[in-house]
Structures are given as structure tokens and as C-alpha cells.
Amino acid sequence: MPVDKSQLRVRRMFASIAPRYDRMNQLLTLGLDRYWRKRTVQSVPLIPDQPVLDVCCGTGDLALAWARRLGQNAIVLGTDFTHTMLMYARDKSPGINETIRYVGADTLRLPCPDNRFQVVSAGFGIRNVGETRHGLAEMTRVCGPDGHVVILETSAPRWPVVRQLFGLYFNHVMPRIGRWLSPDPDAAYSYLAASSAEFLQGEAFAELMREVGLVDVTVHPLTLGTVTVYVGRKPGPRRDERGGRID
């Protein structure tokens, strides 16, 4: 049976775990989530005064990572349709957060103009979007020419032994720890395992990125393949040998 990704279920689920979300992430990933975000923001070149959009931003950790890398001239927008998560995002790192604006928005209908951002990212969020392809297409729409769409997501290791151990932890141990430390009516940590199992991974997801118009798509597994960073570039205008634009 497909995982229920209805807006009502997802919004209610994340609202219920928002107060403990950051602490649980650090515990369940053994602190590796910080390393994964660091690698994500290092995966593409950045122009300091050009804007970055982080969709499905949750409590804002990836948005903060972009802001830290961009420096004092950072322009970062974080969007999420769970307002409780955004409340916690706004309370983080006041000095850095002055460069970040958080807005309630659905990734399937982003309230942003075309070709606006140098980077559009999603960290552990695109799998929660009911229509993954549509969400990627929206992210690509608002990405500027020659800009990048960057996705950080869970994945299954390729090595059989590691894959088996990871599956045991991810599907059985982690949900039990989650239910024990962070009770919620929608079984959020069981949902995490189920939604990750359904999610396209590796080359299959890279192909989906190409289908929505991205090029030069690359796949970067991290930590024995338990998570993956996907990077795709939105094509810019064609140019002639002298660098002039070809319409």
C-alpha cells in the first residue's frame, strides 16, 4: 500500500514532532546530519549576493548552512507548509537568521517568480511532497539559468552487508527509538522508513531530475550510501563562440 503523503497527514505529523525534531535528528543520525548538510552546501559554486531557496526547510538547519557559507551578504529564503516547524526555524541563531526569511508555502505551488534563485535545495524533504516530479519541476522553474537544484535525501547502501545492517536500523531500531522518545499519533519515524523505501534513488532519481529539464546531473553518495546528494544544473541561454546570447 502506498505511503499516505496527504498534506493533512504530513503537516499534522511534522507539527507534532517539531519541538523534538532537531534533537531527534542528531540522536538518530549519530550527529552525522551536520556533516551531510556541510557537504550539501559545498556541492555547488555560490555567488555571495545572489539568493538561495530551501524548500521543505523544516526547522531551518539547511537554510542556516547556506547562510553561513554565503556570509554576511547572504539572501536565503526557507519555505515549508508546516507553520510549527517554521516557528522553531525563526528562533534559531538570531545573528545568522537575520539574513534568512521563512515563509509558509507548498513546494507544489511556490510563491516565487521564474528564474529567481542561484540554488534551490531540499534536505530530507522532497520525498514528503505528494507529487515528487511536480515538486522538482517547481524547484526548477524558480531556479535561475545556470543555477542548481540540490537534493539531500536518504538512500539505501549498495554493499549487501551494509544495506542489511542499515535496513535493520532504519526500519526497526530507529522507529522504536522515535516512538519511545518522541511519541506522536502519526508514527512519524515509521513513516520516515516507509517513505524512504518508496522514494526513487540513485540513477532513477537522477533521471527524474533530467526529465524536468535539469542537465549535468550528478549523484554523490555519503556515509556508505545511507544518504545521497543530487545536483542538477538548469540550462542557461545558448551562446555563440564570442559568448553572445543566441535566442
Q: Which pLDDT does position 157 carry in this prediction?
A: 82
Between the alpha carbon of residue 230 and those of residues 84, 109, 112, the distances in Å are 28, 22, 22
pLDDT tens-digit series, residues 51-107 = 999 999 999 999 999 999 999 889 999 999 999 999 999 988 666 667 899 999 999
Q: What would the DSSP string read from start to end of 85-154?
A: HHHHHHTS-HHHHTTEEEEE--GGG--S-TT-EEEEEEES-GGGSSSHHHHHHHHHHHEEEEEEEEEEEE
CA atoms within 13 A on the CB side of 38: 5
Q: Which pLDDT does position 58 carry in this prediction?
A: 95
Beta-bridged to residue 76, according to DSSP, are 52, 100
Cβ neighbours of 42 (radius 10 Å): 12
Domains along the sequence of the chain with CATH: 7-235 (3.40.50.150)
In tens digits, the chain (247 residues) has pLDDT values of 577 778 888 888 888 888 888 988 888 888 999 999 999 999 999 999 999 999 999 999 999 999 999 998 899 999 999 999 999 999 886 666 678 999 999 999 999 999 999 999 999 999 999 899 999 999 999 999 999 999 999 998 887 777 777 667 766 666 666 666 655 555 666 777 777 778 899 999 999 999 999 999 999 999 999 999 999 999 987 654 454 455 5
Residue spans of beta strands (DSSP E) within the chain: 52-55, 76-80, 100-104, 117-123, 143-154, 215-222, 227-233, 238-239, 245-246
Q: Which pLDDT does position 243 carry in this prediction?
A: 45
Q: Which pLDDT does position 119 carry in this prediction?
A: 98
Torsion 119-98-35-125 (CA) sign: negative
User: Own/partner pairs for 43-47, CB < 8 Å, 24+ apart?
Assistant: 43/150, 43/220, 43/229, 43/231, 44/119, 44/148, 44/150, 44/231, 46/70, 46/118, 46/119, 47/118
Taking phi over 0 as left and psi of -120 to 50 as alpha, with beta for the rest, 176 belongs to alpha
